[in-house]
Amino acid sequence: MDSFDYVIVGGGTAGCILANRLTASGRHRVLVLEAGGEPKSMWINIPAGFSKLLTNKKYNWRFQTEAEESTNSRVISVPRGKGLGGSTLINGMIYVRGQAGDYDAWRDGGAHGWSFKDVEPYFRKLENYDKGGPARGHDGPMKLDQVRERFPISDAFLKAANEDGQPYNEDYNAEQQDGVGYYQVTQSGGQRWSAYDGYLQPALQRENLKVEIHAHVLRLEFREKRCVGVTYRQDGREITVAANIEVILAAGAIQSPQLLELSGIGQPSLLQSLGIPVHHVLQGVGENYIDHFATRMNWRVKGTVTLNEMSRNWRLGLAVSQYFARRSGILTLGTGLVHAFIKTRPEMVTPDAQYFFVHASYANAAERVLDTAPGMTIGVTQLRPESVGTIHINSRDPAVGPSIRPNFLASKVDQECMIRSMQIARRIVGRPALKPYIVDEMSPGAGVQGDADWLAFARANGQTIYHPIGTCKMGEDDAAVVDVRLKVRGLEGLRIVDASVMPKMVSGNIQAAVMMVAEKGADLILEDAAHQA
């Protein structure tokens, strides 16, 4: 049986960072097990290629929610990246740290050592953002850029937001998040820059790092209360490897709790109902699932050329030529062009709503199929939802995805915030700067006026924007799965370092927070190793 100091389960965002940091000194032998393959698709490097990858089974696990009454019994897609680099291969590349209060709330809830003061240095450590000021990192592994392309209608949206009283904010990742401007993205020279690019690829030549792809982990191996290794399937064979120091789960908020439950760790009643022997009781496994729920409001526009037309026929040919000649143009765009972080009530201390403006409209938003006529979209999401769901296995078969129940819009606070957020979006579009461009509101349409209508629209049309967190939350209460050093409570030799440990949602897209968790997690692991040496 092969043995390593650390076995990392998952080669996604957190796994790439851990692999780099834990092997940098040369002292530790590290194995990374990734169920997917290498990032070889041409669509990965082209930012606009995310729309092709969201339906690609090779790079996307393509999970789905259970049908729930709160969202009109619809099944909602929950994409998750598959392959070395994980979701940073297929996401919209938007980079948002969140608000200082998010991390202070983690601390106040029992995650001591995770306040904004504690985690801010790790954001700077990972960032390579040459447009930022002293609050930003400038020489980290993750290359960042501001969206480069400018269009008349996106500038008009900014002006309309200013007319509505929203300030311009050049860097929402610095001191204040409030305001509008152009998004920051994980790109370099007009190309996607993934966790694979920034962290794993530079480490692949190290002799103390081994990476196994197409390696689907089946279960954790224990000697009493100590995790001593994992068993995985590769090329039809079951292989067991030993971990001399620790096994580190970095499989994400969906698959880390799944693997714990498959290994007999979780709620006894659930495990016993599936015939899985209970190895260790942790009631919080698979609980506390939180995600961002968003609606997309669409308008038919005039007097400008939008992505709907730019991505077709001869214009698409020009765009392809422009991209490969200069790494510029519409193929550099991801899911958001212009941002807005807005307070839906004047008494709010910080923004509670996020907006994604793009001069495109979707005939099918879930599949990213664009309209043929000119259009624009404003995606609307609540930053800190209070509705909480669950992710639990419903089969002993590791190849069967878990049952995902988001419980969207269960909270009255969430309902009211979504209603106000959509009303504000409509109000901004009605300002003078945008008025010359607007033909009509396609969705939800002028017929939606009362709060009940807005809520019905959200229930019927909203989607997750792919930010699952919390299912192995960090803390000190009975529902916590890991402690503040990310060790699984009550067990030895097992740690979790991914989005599942985040106890509460952060105010924005989560990839920056996941990278921070992995950077800080790596430091905690190395500190513990040094003390034990």
- pLDDT score recorded for residue 441: 97
In percent, the amount of the chain with pLDDT more than 90 equals 91
Task: Of 154, 421, 522, give the one whose Cα is nearest residue 307.
Answer: 154
Whether 392 has a pLDDT exceeding 90, the answer reads yes
Residue range 423-448: average pLDDT?
97
Domain covering 1-65+89-143+188-291+389-399+467-533 in this structure, CATH number: 3.50.50.60
How buried is residue 134: exposed, middle or buried, by Cβ count under 10 Å (0-12/13-18/19+)?
exposed
Q: Which of 280, 292, 359, 467 is catalytic?
A: 467
Residue range 440-452: average pLDDT?
96
Type and span of the H or E element at 62: none
Radius of gyration of the chain (CA): 23
State the maximum Cα–Cα separation within the chain, in Å, rounded to a whole number: 70
Average pLDDT across the chain, whole number: 96
- CA-CA distance, 338 to 184, in Å (whole number)? 9
Q: Check if 280 is active-site.
A: no
Residue range 379-405: average pLDDT?
98
Q: 278: Cβ–Cβ under 8 A, 6 or more apart, which residues?
A: 264, 268, 271, 272
Residues 15-62 pLDDT 10s: 999 999 999 999 999 999 999 999 999 999 999 998 889 889 999 999
- pLDDT score recorded for residue 1: 83
Whether 222 has a pLDDT exceeding 90, the answer reads yes
The DSSP symbol for 199 reads I
Q: Which two tokens stand for residue 188?
A: 């370099």
How many residues are there in the chain? 533
Whether 364 has a pLDDT exceeding 80, the answer reads no
- pLDDT score recorded for residue 169: 98
What is the third-level CATH fold of 148-182+293-384+409-461? Cholesterol Oxidase; domain 2 (3.30.410)
- pLDDT score recorded for residue 367: 62
- CA-CA distance, 461 to 497, in Å (whole number)? 33
Contact assessment for residue 503 and residue 109, using Cβ atoms and an 8 Å cutoff: yes
- pLDDT score recorded for residue 470: 98
Residues 250-295 pLDDT 10s: 999 999 999 999 999 999 999 999 999 999 999 999 999 999 999 9
Residue range 449-463: average pLDDT?
97
- pLDDT score recorded for residue 176: 96
Residue range 192-219: average pLDDT?
98
Q: How confident is the model at residue 172 (pLDDT cuts 50, 70, 90)?
A: very high
Q: 212: Cβ–Cβ under 8 A, 6 or more apart, which residues?
A: 31, 32, 33, 34, 232, 234
Residue range 332-336: average pLDDT?
90
Residue range 341-360: average pLDDT?
97
- CA-CA distance, 19 to 200, in Å (whole number)? 7
User: Taking the domains of the chain in order of start, what are their residue ranges?
Assistant: 1-65+89-143+188-291+389-399+467-533, 148-182+293-384+409-461
Q: How confident is the model at residue 368 (pLDDT cuts 50, 70, 90)?
A: low
- pLDDT score recorded for residue 365: 61
Q: How many CB atoms lie within 10 A of CB 279?
A: 17
- CA-CA distance, 322 to 327, in Å (whole number)? 7
Contact assessment for residue 99 and residue 177, using Cβ atoms and an 8 Å cutoff: yes
Q: How confident is the model at residue 503 (pLDDT cuts 50, 70, 90)?
A: very high
Q: How confident is the model at residue 352 (pLDDT cuts 50, 70, 90)?
A: very high
Residue range 321-346: average pLDDT?
91
Q: 259: Cβ–Cβ under 8 A, 6 or more apart, which residues?
A: 9, 217, 219, 220, 249, 251, 398
